[in-house]
Chain A
Amino acid sequence: MVSHRRTHCLRPVFSRACLAGITCLLLSSVAAIAADSTLPAPNVPALRDGAAPIDIGELLDMQRHVQAVAKRVIPTTVALRVGQAHGSGVIIDADGYVLTAAHVAGAPNRTAQIRLHDGRLVYGTTLGVYRTKDAGLIKIKGDDATWQFSPMGNSAQLEGGHWCVATGHPGGFQDGRPPVFRLGRVLKREDDAITTDCTLIGGDSGGPLFDMQGRVIGIHSRIGKPLVQNLHVPVNAYRTTWKRLVSGDAWGQLPGEDQAFEPFIGVHGIEGSNVARVASVYDNSPAQLAGILPGDVIIRVGRQRVTTFESLQNLIKQHQPGEVVSVKVLRDDAIMDLTLKVGKRQTRIQ
């Protein structure tokens, strides 16, 4: 662990040193001492500043660096199977500690099947799970081997626009397919989650998000319907609770138990109006499947009367995702009875 901290502490030095081309030599030598698994800071303005590349020359420079990152991080990405859960993970030190999502690890002391990037199968044991953040830890069994790894970075330093890469096993491990590589940008950083446009899907859960030096900055956790809503556990959730995770503690509740998975029907209305009139309906939403149309006024959900759009929101919150409720709507002066299956706002990926 000490080496990660040192690597991380050196980072400000890296970015300042980048000002002069001459320091490139210095950079690589410093990096070599700090940890052989961290790439030198990118010497490309777009990657360094989290900005848009301006011409082909810069795109080419960017590509060269991104390909080096790919080469470095893909071999440290693993596929996991813990009980019924399939997911991904990343080896973060030579001893074989593997970061994953809490909803993949499940609980401490379970056996994990670990597929290395080349398909080799090894076994691990789940350690701590910090469910509130969806952070889980696994240790590869045995102490004699030295594992290729990607060190942890610092998620607190991320800003919107920073370039990042995601790897993982979308759809689960597939024989002959190495970990799948994606490039995107940080769209938002919050304490609970980093949002990027590195697209994720089931099977990616627990897989790593990297910065441009190949350091782990996040762990894939969940997605929203728009392709730009891919949420990652900030890596600092692991760093700040490291001892507890290593000791095999399990605490907190999965984000699934609160707002990310809140009941959802997919209508948009006008707040402050004196009726719950539907302004628009999301495509493929529970409301659309139930036959609710823009312009409908929702007057009852189950046995409860709906007065305003806010009252509709409150009523929906009282139902569980998956529950089927009857809905009365007023359409062109006619009252219609519809059947609505309540959905959830986000879907956890596995």
Chain B
Amino acid sequence: MNRRPFLTLAIFAFSLMLAAPNGFADQRDGASTPTRLLRDIFFNNRRSYQRNHWTITRAFAPVVQTARESTVRILSRGRQVALGTIVDTNGFIVTKASQLEADTTYEVDLGRGRKTRARRISEDRDYDVALLKVNAANLRPVTWSTVRPAVGAWLATADANSDQPVIAVGVLSVAPRQIPSPPTMLGVNFNPTDKGPVVTQVRTATAAEHAGLQVNDYILAVDGESVRTGNALPEKIGSYKAGERIQLTIERNEITLSLEVVLGHFGNNEQSQIMDDLGGNLSNRRIGFPLAFQHDSVLKPNQCGGPIVDLEGHVIGINIARSSRVASYAIPSEVLRNLIPHLQSSLTQNATVGAAD
């Protein structure tokens, strides 16, 4: 191969650069520094073979053009926590509920420098969909499509107002189905006492361990509600979904503390944790949806909540979770078409409505 002298030279020229502290930057993060670009050209041509390489995603730009106009960014303290989908002209937006923390104000970035405060209207916990309201007119709502693509269909996720219109592409992996919801688990053994349940064991690779719960901690309350009596603790935990965030009030060494816990589920163990660790960044709330389709687009947790389209640009659903290394879930448009009017009719803040069947 007559390319070899050139390659050798290139390797020589850039070996120092590679040895530099940031020279080995993980392939997954997208920033393209000059170092990175050069390295990709000379050392890592494989990158251009990747399905998410810009040489492929650029072909999808026209596909997401319409959906993009209905995609917004949801910001908290200036940082993107999710994408959102505009559902009517008067400022109603849906997004992934569990990405929003309680008692925090949110801004919606509508593009072209337009940012506005959002009010949280209601949510559906089964689907993990929240309805937000902004005061803005002339918004471009999505058109829900009931087209049902076959397995293997190309799907694309739009980004809101960025230079790169396409976040990720993938294919339909499994048609819509119920994503099972195993029982929620905190991961402690406890003995009841007058003060409340006292922790006797913290199981490994569980929510309790991650949150730093310790043996001899007294659990006084969950989200401000006392769990002192009988089976109040497991019952209260069971009323949440795996991946939801709760505040535990505990007493440790006679000091009252508040611990934030992201709940897990039965089946969490060291093996499942290894698999989760190999998945990249996953959504906390990532299993248990009454109906969702599965696709293999690689999304970040804060890129859920926006529309996903087929090759004709039909909005066939919204991304609701990055669930594992192999799976992202999206709620089909047919569900959202029924769900959103329910959410809109529930005008009290934080009210929960049931799933639309």
Which residues from chain A sit less than 8 Å from chain B, CB to CB? 50, 52-56, 58-60, 62-63, 66-67, 69-71, 74, 160-161, 165, 170-171, 174, 176-178, 180-188, 195, 197-202, 204, 223, 225-228, 268, 270-271, 279-280, 282-284, 294, 347, 349
Is the CB–CB distance between B327 and A180 below 8 Å? Answer: yes
Most A CB contacts (10 A, CB to CB) among B45, B59, B150 go to: B59
Pick the 7 closest A-B CB pairs, nearest first: A70-B152, A279-B21, A67-B152, A52-B55, A66-B152, A183-B171, A187-B46
Is the Cβ of B153 less than 8 Å from the Cβ of A63? yes
**A160 to B48 CA separation, bound complex (whole angstroms):** 10
**Interfacial chain B residues near A59, Cβ < 8 Å:** 59-60, 63, 154, 311
- Flag whether B56 is at the interface (Cβ < 8 A): yes
Chain A residues with CB under 8 Å of B28's CB are: 226-228
Chain B residues contacting A279 (CB-CB under 8 Å) are 19-21
Q: Is B71 an interface residue (CB 8 A)?
A: no
Closest-CB distance, A208 to chain B (whole angstroms): 15
A180 touches B311 (CB 8 A): no
- Among A176, A185, A200, A226, point to the contact of B26 (Cβ < 8 A): A226
B152 in contact with A181 (CB, 8 Å): yes
Is B7 close to A, CB under 8 A? Answer: no
| Chain A residue nearest to B50 in the complex (CB) | A197
The residues of A that contact B311 with a CB separation of less than 8 Å are 56, 59-60, 63
- A242 CB to nearest B CB, Å: 30
B: interface residue count bin: 35 or more
**B327 and A161 contact, CB distance less than 8 A:** no
With A60-B311, A188-B46 known as contacts, the answer to whether A227 contacts B174 (CB < 8 A) is: no
- Binary interface encoding of chain B residues 171-182 relative to chain A, with 1 for a CB under 8 A from any of its CBs, else 0: 111100110100
Nearest CB of chain B from residue A150's CB, rounded to whole Å: 15
Contact status B171-A182, CB under 8 Å? yes
Q: Is the CB of A160 within 8 A of B153?
A: no
When chains A and B are docked, how far (Å) is the Cα of A284 from the Cα of B276?
12
Q: How many whole Å from A103's CB to the nearest CB in chain B? A: 14
Query: Do residues B152 and A69 form an inter-chain contact, with CB atoms below 8 A?
Result: yes
Contact residues in A for B325 (Cβ distance below 8 Å): 199-201, 223, 227
Check if A187 sits within 8 Å of B174, measured CB to CB: no
Q: Are A63 and B278 in contact (CB under 8 A)?
A: no
Query: Contact between B278 and A171 (Cβ–Cβ < 8 Å)?
Result: no
Say whether B274 faces chain A, with CB atoms less than 8 Å apart.
yes
A180 CA to B329 CA in the complex, in Å? Answer: 13
Contact A180 B153 (CB under 8 A): no
Enumerate chain A residues within 8 angstroms of B53, measured Cβ to Cβ.
52
The distance in angstroms between the C-alpha atoms of A63 and B280, with both chains bound, is: 27
Say yes or no: is B324 at the interface (Cβ < 8 Å to chain A): yes
Task: Name 5 extra pairs, CB < 8 A, besides A53-B59, A201-B278.
Answer: A53-B56, A161-B49, A198-B296, A202-B271, A349-B275
Q: CB-CB < 8 A to A56: which residues of B?
A: 59, 62-63, 311
How far apart sit A279 and B151, CA to CA, in the bound complex (Å)? 45
Hey, what's the 0/1 contact readout for B20-48 against A, CB within 8 Å counting as 1? 11101011100000000000000001100
| B298 beta carbon closer than 8 Å to chain A | yes
Contact partner of A177 among B21, B27, B49, B177, CB < 8 A?
A: B177
User: Which chain A residue shows the least CB distance to B277?
Assistant: A284
State whether A180 touches B50 (Cβ < 8 A).
no
How far apart sit A62 and B60, CA to CA, in the bound complex (Å)?
13
Q: CB < 8 Å: which of A50, A55, A198, A226 contacts B27?
A: A226
A178 touches B49 (CB 8 A): no
Is B296's CB under 8 angstroms from A182's CB?
Answer: yes
Residue of B nearest to A195 (CB): B46
Listed by A's residue number, 6 A-B pairs whose Cβ atoms lie within 8 Å are: A52-B59, A60-B311, A63-B154, A184-B51, A201-B278, A227-B28
Q: Which residues of B contact A198 (CB under 8 A)?
A: 296
Residues of A within 8 A of B56 (CB): 52-53
Q: How far is the CA of A201 from the CA of B323 in the complex (A)?
A: 12
Q: Which of B168-206 contact A (CB under 8 A)?
A: 170-174, 177-178, 180
Q: How distant is B269 from chain A, measured CB to nearest CB, in Å?
A: 12
Q: Would you call B19 and A270 a contact (CB within 8 A)?
A: yes
Chain B nearest Cβ from A69, distance in angstroms: 7
Q: Is B279 an interface residue (CB 8 A)?
A: yes
The answer to whether A170 and B327 touch across the interface, beta carbons within 8 angstroms, is yes
The smallest beta-carbon distance between A145 and chain B, in angstroms, is 26
Decide: B326 and A180 in contact? CB cutoff 8 A: yes
Partner of B151, one of A50, A74, A283: A74
Say whether B51 contacts A183, CB under 8 Å. yes
Contact present for A185 and B154 (CB under 8 Å): no
Bound-complex Cα distance A17 to B296 (A): 33
Q: Are A183 and B153 in contact (CB under 8 A)?
A: no
In the bound complex, what is the Cα–Cα distance between A69 and B171 (angstroms)? 13
Min Cβ gap A102→B in Å is 20
Chain A residues in 8 Å Cβ range of B249: none
Per the bound structure, the CA–CA distance linking A55 and B59 in Å amounts to 5
Which A residue's beta carbon lies closest to that of B180?
A174
The interface centre, meaning the residue of B19, B52, B171, B278 with most chain A CB atoms within 10 A of its CB, is B278
Q: Does B294 contact A (CB under 8 A)?
A: yes
Mark B268-290 against chain A: 1 for CB-CB distance below 8 A, else 0: 00010011011110000000000
Q: Which of B45, B60, B151, B324 contacts A201 (CB 8 A)?
A: B324
Whether A280 pairs with B153 at a CB distance below 8 angstroms is no
Are A170's CB and B326's CB within 8 A? yes
Chain B residues in 8 Å Cβ range of A294: 21
B174–A177 contact, CB under 8 A? yes
Task: Establish whether residues B21 and A200, one from each chain, have CB atoms under 8 Å apart when the complex forms.
Answer: no
Contact of B294 among A53, A180, A283, A284 (CB under 8 A): A180
**Given known A-B contacts A53-B59, A181-B173, A280-B21, A201 and B46 have beta carbons under 8 A apart:** no
Bound CA span A215–B132, Å:
48
Q: How many whole Å from B282's CB to the nearest CB in chain A?
A: 11
- Nearest residue (CB) in A for B267 is A171
Question: Taking the nearest CB of chain B, how far is it from the CB of A157, in angstroms?
Answer: 16
Q: Are A58 and B59 in contact (CB under 8 A)?
A: yes
Binary contact readout B53-94 vs A (1 if CB under 8 angstroms, 0 otherwise): 101100110110000000000000000000000000000000
| Contact indicator A180/B173 (Cβ below 8 Å) | yes
